Structure 1
Amino acid sequence: MEFYLKDEGIRTSFEFGQLNIASDEHSGFRPFQLMVASIAGCSLSVYRKILDKQRLKYEDIKLTADVKRNSDEANRIEKITLHYVVKGYRLNQDKLAKNLEVARKNCSMVQSVQDSIEIQETIECIELS
């Protein structure tokens, strides 16, 4: 990976496209947003793979991330709460929760930060009729 310093921030390119990183949202993604997006994106992707592999049916999954930062320590990320909302028919909440534990163990981003950022996961099931 190569990163280039620009007046408005930092720029890099990947196969998918260009990524701008900056200290303000008007010039690019803020580093903490990319960190949270990496953790949330990895976690949700692994979770979906597990559900699909087990042929568990769901209509939709929404993930929200609540971030707690410490302004006294360089505004570091201390805790990320990932809240999953799974919508579907005849959902088995216990099985969905157990699969979330498996996803946590197999998500490289969560495992990479487990000793420095507290990751909490919650799950909510919405039964469609």
Structure 2
Amino acid sequence: MKHQVITKWKGNMAFESSNPSGHSLTIDAGPDDGGEGSGFRPKALMLSGLAGCSGIDVAAMIKKMRLEVDNFTIEIDAELTEEHPKYYHTVTVDYVFTGSNLDEKKLQRAVDLSVEKYCGVMEMFRRFAKLDIKTTFIKG
């Protein structure tokens, strides 16, 4: 399978990038880097891609297993290298589930399957970063 993304310069430091879904988004540098901050930062978009990829896996398993979850968020903290080219060398991914009737064992299994088997973006990150995976359950 092949994907094509077309990214068009919109002036200054801003770009519009298409997606195979037919949607597009704006990428821009922050004011410190000569941009206007009117869009997503490229490196942070990689983290959103990681969360989205794994999140879709977990959401599909929540649905398939008919699990009760009131809220599900993925919190990612990542550290960049000091030297150029700067890249994420350490990435912490915390899967946070909130609910009054959480099946922690099944939810952990869903996270593990995404992390270890299904999420292609996770596999790409594994090639250049140390990953720390956490799961948090909040009764409420």
TM-score by length of structure 1 reads 0.86
Partner of 1:101: 112
Aligned to 1:35, which of 34, 43, 46? 46
Distance 2:68 2:123 in 1: 27
Distance 1:61 1:44 in 2: 9
Deviation, 1:12, is 2.1
Partner of 1:69: 80
- One-letter code aligned to 1:11: E
Partner of 1:116: 128
Partner of 2:13: 8
- One-letter code aligned to 1:3: T
- Tell me the C-alpha RMSD between the 2 structures: 1.7
Moved more, 35-44 or 104-113: 104-113
Contact conserved, 1:8 with 1:27, CA < 8 A, in 2? no
Alignment of 1:83-94 (within 5 A): 83-94=94-105
Distance 1:90 1:10 in 2: 44
Aligned to 1:22, which of 8, 28, 32? 28
* Per-residue CA distance 1:58-105 (angstroms, 9 max, x = gap): 111122111111112422111221112111123232322122110112
Distance 1:11 1:45 in 2: 24
Higher relative contact order, chain-length normalized (CA < 8 Å, sep 6+): 1
SS of 2:127's equivalent in the other structure is: coil
Distance 1:74 1:101 in 2: 31
Percent pairwise identity: 23
What are the ranges of 5 or more consecutive residues in structure 1 without an aligned counterpart? none
What are the ranges of 5 or more consecutive residues in structure 2 without an aligned counterpart? 31-35
Would the alpha carbon gap of residues 73 and 94 (structure 1) be closer, same or farther in structure 2, given more than 3 Å must change? farther
SS of 2:73's equivalent in the other structure is: strand
Distance 1:92 1:12 in 2: 39
SS of 2:37's equivalent in the other structure is: coil
Q: Flag as ranges the 4+ runs of structure 1 deviating above 4 A.
A: none
Contact conserved, 1:87 with 1:126, CA < 8 A, in 2? yes
Deviation, 1:38, is 0.2
TM-score by length of structure 2 reads 0.80
- One-letter code aligned to 1:56: L
